């Protein structure tokens, strides 16, 4: 209940002060913390909800990935059927602090899952959870789908054109 109240207050403040970076960062951080969960990502994939997945993408991906909605559709199409079992864990973190109160945080997430016919898919996501330099860049910076144990490249790879440190490789 408190989280909902805080989001409501931040929404009103953003309407009054739309260019306030601190408010933008706080609002986006709380939205990501509330909505970006493994179970919610699986639900979005099973429902093939292009709008919901697009909403999680960072500004760079939204600006630079040609035909993003088609690319998300391709991502969904590469999965043979509904996800029936999954596990997910955050396994890496990157932080940068450049002084003047400006910083960013990125986390890596792996979701391993099986469908009715394929048992070894994985989705890897780099999620920027905090960015006081450019709040619009918060969100998914990389999202790729692969078959575990397959030496082939990712089935689908959606990634930002910049803002990924060496830690990502």
Identify the band that residue 67 occupies on the pLDDT scale cut at 50, 70 and 90: very high
Q: Is 87 exposed, middle or buried (0-12, 13-18, 19+ CB in 10 A)?
A: exposed
The tens digit of pLDDT for each residue in 107-119 reads: 899 999 999 887 7
* Per-residue pLDDT, 118: 76
* Per-residue pLDDT, 24: 67
Q: What is the pairing mode between strands 139-147 and 103-115? A: unpaired
By C-alpha distance, which of 97, 117, 106 is closest to 168?
A: 106
Domain 36-163 sits in CATH at 3.10.450.50
**12, pLDDT greater than 80:** no
Q: What is the domain partition of the chain in residue ranges?
A: 36-163
The tens digit of pLDDT for each residue in 142-168 reads: 999 999 887 778 899 999 987 665 544
The Cα–Cα gap between 121 and 81 comes to 11
Both structure tokens of 89: 């864990």
- Beta bridge pairs of residue 106: 94, 128
Q: Could you count the other beta carbons within 10 Å of the beta carbon of residue 120?
A: 13
Secondary structure, 3-state, 31-96: HHHHHCCHHHHHHHHHHCCHHHHHHHECHHHHHHCCCHHHHHHHHHHCCCCCEEEEEEEEEEEEEE
* Per-residue pLDDT, 168: 45
């Amino acid at each position: 209940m408190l989280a909902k109240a805080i989001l409501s207050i931040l929404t009103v403040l953003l309407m009054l002060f739309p260019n306030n970076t601190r408010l933008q960062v706080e609002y986006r951080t709380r939205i990501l913390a509330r909505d970006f969960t493994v179970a919610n990502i699986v639900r979005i994939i099973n429902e093939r909800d292009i709008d919901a997945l697009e909403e999680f993408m960072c500004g760079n991906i939204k600006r630079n990935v040609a035909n993003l909605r088609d690319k998300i559709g391709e991502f969904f199409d590469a999965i043979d059927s509904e996800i029936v079992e999954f596990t997910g864990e955050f396994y890496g973190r990157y932080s940068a602090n450049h002084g003047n109160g400006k910083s960013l945080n990125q986390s890596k997430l792996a979701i391993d899952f099986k469908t009715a016919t394929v048992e070894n898919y994985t989705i890897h996501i780099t999620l920027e959870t905090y960015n006081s330099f450019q709040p619009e860049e918060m969100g998914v910076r990389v999202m790729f789908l692969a078959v575990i144990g397959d030496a082939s490249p990712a089935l689908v790879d959606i990634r930002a054109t910049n803002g990924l440190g060496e830690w990502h490789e």
